[in-house]
A and B are shown apart, each in its own frame.
Chain A
Amino acid sequence: MSSGPEWHGGFVIDAVGLAKSFRARGGGVTELLSDASLQVAPWTSVAVMGRSGVGKSTLLRALGLFQPLDAGSYRLLGSDVSGLSERACSALRAKHIGFVFQEFRLLPHLTATGNVETAAAIAGMPVRTRRREAHRALELVGLSHRLRASPRTLSGGEQQRVALARALVKRPSLILADEPTGALDDTTAAAVLEILRDAVAVSAAALVVVTHDPVVAQACDRQLRLHDGQLVPLLDHTVVGSTA
């Protein structure tokens, strides 16, 4: 379901009628996405809520080009990505999509800088600028003093900030976050949200956050709920604003 036209000309995400179903072990079919539509413009953040198992992660995987869809049209940055090859999808992910996970998913054997540099390397950043950009991203998330720290020595909040730096180092057009504050205390969660909002504002990125946390949802520009395979609005600031 569309949340209405955006004030900006081009969408980062323009997905219409997405459908995905899975065959259950018993032989039945579970339909997680059914005619789900979503448009997200730059500088915009969208929270997707819903109960567990409703298909939020499937939606996020589809938006991140990991999940082939049964039906629907998905345009990313103006290009149709529905039938792209695995290699082309990887290239888009490497350059334009940043992921943030609840469990951080840092590479444990690398330092904070190493983790961020890896993302920069995969994005194709030249060797000579990789280190500098990694340090800049870590500075942006307030970790300039932990550049050489191993993930094992970092607190949960610091680890999530490294993960944020890793997602932001390539200046992505789309940030996909799966419960980014789920493992953090309130203060740290607020700081992480602040970083995400800043990134969206500075990089002209679009942010899609899957969350159960109403506080996180409220911090986003729009709140959607995944229900019966469709995205329905909880509250749309843009619409409210224009109505007012």
Chain B
Amino acid sequence: MRRAVTLAGQEVRGNWRRNLVKGVILFGAIGTQLFTSLAAAASEEAVTTYGAAVFGYEQTFRADLETPPSLAQLQTMDATLDSETTAHPGAVVVLQADVSAGLTSSQAPVAGPATATSLTSFHGPWAEISATTAASTSFAEVDGPTALPRLVVSGPMADRLGVTPTRLVTVSVAATAPSTAESGDAAADASESGDVADAAESGDAAADASDAWAQSPRALPDIPAHRGPVERNKALVNDVLASRSLLHLIGAAPESASIYWRCRAPECTDVAGIAATIARTAGLSLAAGNRVDSHDELTPVLRQQREQGALFAWVALGLGAVAVAVVATAMVEVRTPELVTLRTLGATRSTLFAAALLEGLVVAVVVGIVSMAASLALARLDPDLLNHIDAVELTRFRPPLAVYLRTGALTVLVGLLTGLLPALRAYRLVRAN
């Protein structure tokens, strides 16, 4: 083995021009792998930075209420949530309730109002909505043909509710008009008590006030307004808003409820405490929170970048390795007389095999070290260079150690694999000569 190491060292030094060619190809392959991984890491860091800077959070947690809340408890929590988020502007806490049970009987196709037995606050049939509104991914209120305010459930929300995604539903809301507070109270009472008949009557009263709604469709007393968090957690709060609105409209207790909160890393414990307080005020206990996502909106972008980058990098690595193996094998054939000379000097075939293998490994390791050093220098000189999220300028980027460990392992693997073919060739050539 010592002789193989000596010979490999001499070959690497002596054939440095040939090895430089291999090294350049390998640099392209290993460098692509490394820099693609670093780009994904840089973008992720940029998104985290961006989330913290723009939205005020880095992490999102979710904790389930250990027992399903009643409607009254939900409303208590709603009130606490509002006051807590007002008192702690930095705390972003939202409440989500699963209302799918209440809508189960409403999932029939376009059929008509008959199936909406439990939705006594509702007025009018389920209906298919237009392609334009179906494409909407956020909560919206629209005026329907009956001039009643409508609640359009978003695509993702429809998925969660089990409604056929291609047939989003429009719910005509027969809520109490602002001018008819009495009937609105009746509707609310009916909702809370769950009394279907009362609620139906309230719905009729609301229907009479549809003209007034047409004039002021946004004054829906049953749909709570959100303050600050809406702006800062648009996507999350929109979904929750829909849930809460439906809940109010259905007037039924949810099957389950969860509290979400978003925070910067150092403040997450405090915000978790606020979430627990919200549950406690309703006499409920909250399970331990789990981190569900660090940057929800950009996660798909990051995932796409990571997956496409990885695919590209693997292809580059594969092609580079094959190219180096072929070039190295051709070089071995050119060096056949030298190998034969080494045999006359007493080198065994095994020694020449090991020397060729080591030569490939040494070149790969040198390339790996150079690539890593270059990436470190680059990350220091221009941290933003590898970041693909244009909206954010990364001013500081510390490349993750895991990326380097993986690159190191890949380098050794590629070195051995690309050295194997020429080594086998050397073994056979000296045998034949």
Contact of A105 among B6, B14, B337, B350 (CB under 8 A): B337
For residue B146, CB closer than 8 A to chain A, the reply is: no
Tell me the nearest residue of chain A to B16, going by C-beta: A109
Check A93–B345 contact: CB distance below 8 A: yes
Tell me the nearest residue of chain A to B14, going by C-beta: A109
For residue B10, CB closer than 8 A to chain A, the reply is: yes
Contact of A107 among B338, B348, B351 (CB under 8 A): B338
How many positions in chain A have a CB within 8 Å of any CB in the partner chain?
Answer: 26
CB within 8 Å for A108 and B338 given contacts A87-B350, A166-B345 = yes
Check A123–B344 contact: CB distance below 8 A: no
For residue A227, CB closer than 8 A to chain B, the reply is: no
A124 to B345, CA, bound (A): 11
Which residues in chain B, 10-61, are within 8 Å of chain A measured between CB atoms? 10-11, 14-15
For residue A154, CB closer than 8 A to chain B, the reply is: no
Using Cβ atoms and an 8 Å threshold, which residues of chain B touch A87?
348, 350
Q: For chain B, what secondary structure do more than half of its interface residues adopt (helix, strand, loop), or is it mixed? A: helix
Check A90–B10 contact: CB distance below 8 A: no
For residue A118, CB closer than 8 A to chain B, the reply is: yes
For residue A215, CB closer than 8 A to chain B, the reply is: no
For residue B341, CB closer than 8 A to chain A, the reply is: yes
Check B14–A86 contact: CB distance below 8 A: no
A41 to B357, CA, bound (A): 41
For residue B349, CB closer than 8 A to chain A, the reply is: yes
A7 to B341, CA, bound (A): 34
Which residues in chain A, 90-130, are within 8 Å of chain B measured between CB atoms? 90-95, 97, 99, 105-110, 114, 118-119, 121-124
Using Cβ atoms and an 8 Å threshold, which residues of chain A touch B345?
93-94, 99, 118-119, 122-123, 166
Contact of B3 among A66, A110, A124, A166 (CB under 8 A): A124
How many positions in chain B have a CB within 8 Å of any CB in the partner chain?
Answer: 21
For residue B168, CB closer than 8 A to chain A, the reply is: no
Give the residue among A90, A92, A124, A166 with the most B Cβ atoms within 10 A.
A90
Using Cβ atoms and an 8 Å threshold, which residues of chain A touch B11?
109
Using Cβ atoms and an 8 Å threshold, which residues of chain B touch A166?
345
Q: Which 9 A-B pairs have the closest CB atoms?
A: A94-B346, A109-B14, A93-B346, A90-B348, A99-B344, A105-B341, A121-B6, A122-B346, A119-B345
> What is B's interface to A at a CB cutoff of 8 Å?
3, 6-7, 10-11, 14-15, 337-338, 340-351
Check B6–A109 contact: CB distance below 8 A: no
For residue A64, CB closer than 8 A to chain B, the reply is: yes
Check A114–B343 contact: CB distance below 8 A: no
A87 to B7, CA, bound (A): 17
> What is A's interface to B at a CB cutoff of 8 Å?
64, 66, 86-87, 90-95, 97, 99, 105-110, 114, 118-119, 121-124, 166
Contact of A90 among B7, B15, B341, B346 (CB under 8 A): B346
A166 to B341, CA, bound (A): 11
**Closest CB in chain A relative to B337 CB, distance in Å:** 7
Check A93–B342 contact: CB distance below 8 A: no
Check A122–B338 contact: CB distance below 8 A: no
Using Cβ atoms and an 8 Å threshold, which residues of chain A touch B338?
107-108
A163 to B414, CA, bound (A): 37
Using Cβ atoms and an 8 Å threshold, which residues of chain B touch A107?
10, 14, 338, 341-342
Tell me the nearest residue of chain A to B6, going by C-beta: A121
**Closest CB in chain B relative to A137 CB, distance in Å:** 13
Check A121–B349 contact: CB distance below 8 A: no
Check B341–A110 contact: CB distance below 8 A: no
A100 to B8, CA, bound (A): 24
Give the residue among B6, B341, B345, B347 with the most A Cβ atoms within 10 A.
B345
A64 to B343, CA, bound (A): 11
What are 22 A-to-B residue pairs whose CB atoms are below 8 Å?
A: A90-B348, A92-B346, A93-B346, A94-B345, A94-B347, A97-B346, A99-B344, A105-B337, A105-B340, A106-B341, A107-B338, A107-B341, A110-B10, A110-B14, A118-B7, A118-B345, A122-B7, A122-B345, A123-B345, A123-B346, A124-B3, A166-B345
**Closest CB in chain A relative to B388 CB, distance in Å:** 43
**Closest CB in chain A relative to B17 CB, distance in Å:** 9
A94 to B347, CA, bound (A): 7
A91 to B345, CA, bound (A): 9
Check B3–A121 contact: CB distance below 8 A: yes
List 10 additional contacts besides A64-B344, A95-B346; criterion CB under 8 Å: A90-B343, A92-B346, A105-B344, A106-B341, A118-B10, A118-B345, A121-B7, A122-B3, A122-B351, A124-B3
A122 to B343, CA, bound (A): 10
Using Cβ atoms and an 8 Å threshold, which residues of chain B touch A114?
10, 14
Tell me the nearest residue of chain A to B340, going by C-beta: A105
Contact of B15 among A91, A92, A106, A109 (CB under 8 A): A109
Check B347–A122 contact: CB distance below 8 A: yes
**Closest CB in chain B relative to A194 CB, distance in Å:** 23
